[in-house]
Structure 1
Amino acid sequence: MRLNLPRTLLVLALSAGASLAGCKREQPAQPAAPAADTPAAVTPATAAVDASLQDVTEHTADYIIGISYPPVASQYPLLAAELRQYADSARKELLEAAKGRAQAGSSAPYELVLPFTELHVSPTLVSVGVDGSSYTGGAHGAPLIARWVWLPQQNRLLRASDLVADAKGWEAISTLVREQLHTALSQRVDADELPPAERVEVLKNANRMIDDGTEPDPDHFSQFEPIVGGNGRIQSVRFVFAPYQVGPYSDGTQTVEVPSASLLPYIAPAFRGLFEGG
């Protein structure tokens, strides 16, 4: 399974002749993004951050790299710095791995694809996502999934730990998300028409992954994207779970939308105005 890439990156990957359609790595190695301890608000020390972002296209016998940035990021230096840090970390890991590609016996070049996209842009809210991958040998590549939510008027990132600041809120959100994931899992397993004993075992293991990956802690819900209605207010929040967090690689990236009416009682007062009914 390959990602849908921007045309320039797709042409690059195809021209390289890399036959990676079925070659992907087993374990994900996500760059840190965004780090919970990174200062959220602008300070004198960070006010002059370089906002310039340049797409990256590299092709050698050992590796292929394609990184494309969203135009909106250049308007916000601190957001641009977050995206560049994520991409630089992923690129560094790939280049380190590529040094040993020949010794590892890989016939295909290693590959990093990071297509950053604008998910929402408005004067009050900007969200950016990346659904990329890093292939460094093995059966399949590591999915690189991340989201950033930027508040232009406050010049800061909105993190999950800011959005919901107390344990009670995360317990409620965890319950809501688990219910949807368990239901979707049961429907998928039913569609497979497995023998009863196998069905029980599959559900047992998969349900455990869901519960482990959605414990009531903001770290488990750090990747999210606001869904904005026609009135400019957030009508729901889509929580994004990369492969392996709440299911096996074969289940892909999973998402759960929680409506604002369910979230609003737990949203920190400073951000309630962003939501419908807030």
Structure 2
Amino acid sequence: MRLAALLLFIVLLPVPALGDRLCSPAVLSGVHIEEETAGFVINLDYPVLCRADVTRTLRDHVCDALAAFKLEFPEHDLSEFRHKYEMFVRFKTWTAAGGRLASVKLHTMVYTGGAHPNNWPETWVFDMTTGQRLGLGDVFSDPAGALAEIAPRVRAELRRTLGRMALDDMLDPGTTPVPDNYADFILADEGITFFFAPYQVAPYAAGEQAVTLPYKGLASLLSPALSEILP
């Protein structure tokens, strides 16, 4: 009788779904892809995270970008432009909420002639218990309202850090409170950081820009789900 009761108790215990289990550490290693041909130099890195589905998302993105780069100039061989075309990708990672959230930033540099390479950031924020990629709609209860409050803070900080390189005709449109301007962000323990590519908010010479806003000043804007797990 006791054995039957014990077995019944075990059967009735809630069993967490595999997708709800938190793997650790969030970031395991990195993958390096290097190739040099008569016309190209390829040097790419992307991270390996502890969820295979998350790693596949990043791997597929990098490989798709590489394929598109090669297909755009398949016959480049220095005969018309005596410099190899180049593609470089580097990554940086952050975790927050005790590893529940993992953020990845890829920085891509492509050179296909001209005065200088093109550079841009791309970011992902993953819930490591589910593999879900989080967007602005997951971070803020009211994304449109949140961006309306955030934009002036970001603009003011960029104007301060850029100094004489701050140009209103670039800074103002590049920080207008629309989702595309704030699509590249990460979540770390210290706050949310927004990244801006060269030319988005400042001249190329100013480089990539980043603004971090502490969660303390965003408490009323965050979604309930994130408010529960962020510091």
| Range into which the TM-score falls when normalised by the shorter chain | 0.7 to 0.9
Q: 2 CA distance for matches of 1:268 and 1:120?
A: 18
Question: In structure 1, the residue corresponding to 2:54 is in which secondary structure?
Answer: helix
> Letter of the aligned partner of 2:152 in structure 1?
T
**1:223 and 2:198 matched:** no
Partner residue in 1 for 2:101: 125
1:212-243 per-residue CA deviation (whole Å, 9 max, x = no partner) reads: 11111222111112231xxxxxx311111111
- Percent identity between matched residues is 28
Q: 2 CA distance for matches of 1:225 and 1:104?
A: 42
Structure with more strand by fraction: 2
Question: In structure 1, the residue corresponding to 2:158 is in which secondary structure?
Answer: helix
Partner residue in 1 for 2:195: 240
**1:96 and 2:71 matched:** yes
Structure 2 length as normaliser, TM-score? 0.78
Q: CA deviation at 1:97?
A: 3.2
Q: How many residues were matched structurally?
A: 201
Structure 1 length as normaliser, TM-score? 0.66
Describe how 1:87-236 pairs up with structure 2 within 5 A.
Answer: 87-102=62-77, 105-120=80-95, 122-166=98-142, 167-185=144-162, 187-189=163-165, 206-228=167-189, 235-236=190-191
> Letter of the aligned partner of 2:185 in structure 1?
F
Partner residue in 1 for 2:53: 78
Question: In structure 2, the residue corresponding to 1:144 is in which secondary structure?
Answer: strand
> CA 1:68 to 1:87, structure 2 compared with 1: closer, same or farther past 3 Å?
same
Q: CA RMSD in A?
A: 2.2
> Letter of the aligned partner of 2:83 in structure 1?
A
Q: CA deviation at 1:91?
A: 0.8
Listed as ranges, the gaps of 5+ residues in structure 2 are 1-18, 20-29
Partner residue in 1 for 2:38: 61
Q: 2 CA distance for matches of 1:243 and 1:63?
A: 24
Listed as ranges, the gaps of 5+ residues in structure 1 are 1-41, 43-52, 190-202, 229-234
Question: In structure 2, the residue corresponding to 1:105 is in which secondary structure?
Answer: coil
Q: 1 CA distance for matches of 2:156 and 2:111?
A: 33
